[in-house]
Structure 1
Amino acid sequence: MTATVETQIINVEERLRQAMLASNVNVLNELLAPEVIFTNHLGKLLGKQDDLAAHESGLIKIHELKPSEQHIQIHGEVAIVSVRMQLSGNYNGSPANGDFRFTRVWAVSSSGTWHIVAAHIGMVA
């Protein structure tokens, strides 16, 4: 694994975590590919606009995202990240707390930056 690429992925993962905590839709817009496929913990398929709208409207409000067990695989211009997160927050006004595992596929965009092309979240039992 190239240390430079791994460092880039660690950095964009942290930038994503901070954007999720702040519901910073400008940064989320940069980090999510236009065609991103996101499968949430209920198996529902969402797109970029769904995710941005949920943060912008306050439907999702994340108070804490504590990462652990991060695994990164680099495959050329694609990186696969699996990270376990302890999440606390609200979804549609109801508490949304738990232990989740996020899997994200990062790819190099046409402008040369990393963005997420696919993501999946699952609850850890």
Structure 2
Amino acid sequence: MNKLVAICLILVTTSCTKENVPSEKNLVAAIVEFNQAYKSGNVDRLTGMITNNYVHTNASWKSFGKETWLGYMEDRSKKINNGTLVVESYEMDELSIEMHNDTAIVTAKISTAGSEDGEPFNKNFRVTNIWVFDGSRWLRAGFHDTHIQ
């Protein structure tokens, strides 16, 4: 009986850790993981890191949702895998996070360099991301970027 009580206490203590509450530390870890998955074209990982009603907006296209973005990511991943897209760097700096309970507004500067179809690129963007905490993890719910010099 004492073993059962001990196991229950461990389970209750483990489930009530700060990992199950929205924190800036966990959000930053999610952002880093997301950026690494994006850089390498890991569509499987990215699929589990965005909301079902994800909204993506950039300077090139009208806003679109999760399925269209994942289709874009599938194409991008194929280009990475066959070497027609080489991402040498993908860096996020000037990170600013505004927490609103289980929602966060994240702004940053993204710098990326590499080559696509043999043509070098070096691009900079200002981004705004909306992240939501679903009770166990942070998910990206929205994205917007603007190309900068």
Structure 1-normalised TM-score?
0.83
- 5 Å-filtered alignment, 1:40-79, equals 40-58=58-76, 61=85, 63=87, 64-79=89-104
1:48-91 per-position Cα deviation (integer Å, ceiling 9, x unaligned): 12222222223684612111100001000001110101112466
Please name the residue that 1:120 is paired with: 144
1:112 CA drift (Å): 2.4
Aligned equivalents of 2:62, 2:121: Cα separation in 1:
16
Aligned equivalents of 2:106, 2:127: Cα separation in 1:
8
1:86 paired to 2:111: yes
One-letter amino acid of the structure 2 residue matched with residue 47 of structure 1: G
| Structure 1 alignment gaps of length 5 or more | none
Q: Which has the larger radius of gyration?
A: 2
Identity of aligned residues (%): 24
Q: Which has the higher strand share?
A: 1
Aligned equivalents of 2:32, 2:73: Cα separation in 1:
17
One-letter amino acid of the structure 2 residue matched with residue 124 of structure 1: I
- What SS does structure 2 have at the residue aligned with 1:44? coil
| Structure 2 alignment gaps of length 5 or more | 1-21
Which moved further from structure 2: 30-39 or 50-59?
Answer: 50-59
Please name the residue that 1:29 is paired with: 47
Aligned equivalents of 1:62, 1:13: Cα separation in 2:
21
Aligned equivalents of 1:83, 1:40: Cα separation in 2:
14
- What SS does structure 1 have at the residue aligned with 2:141? strand
Q: Please provide the CA RMSD for this pair.
A: 2.2
Report how many residues are paired. 120
Structure 2-normalised TM-score?
0.71
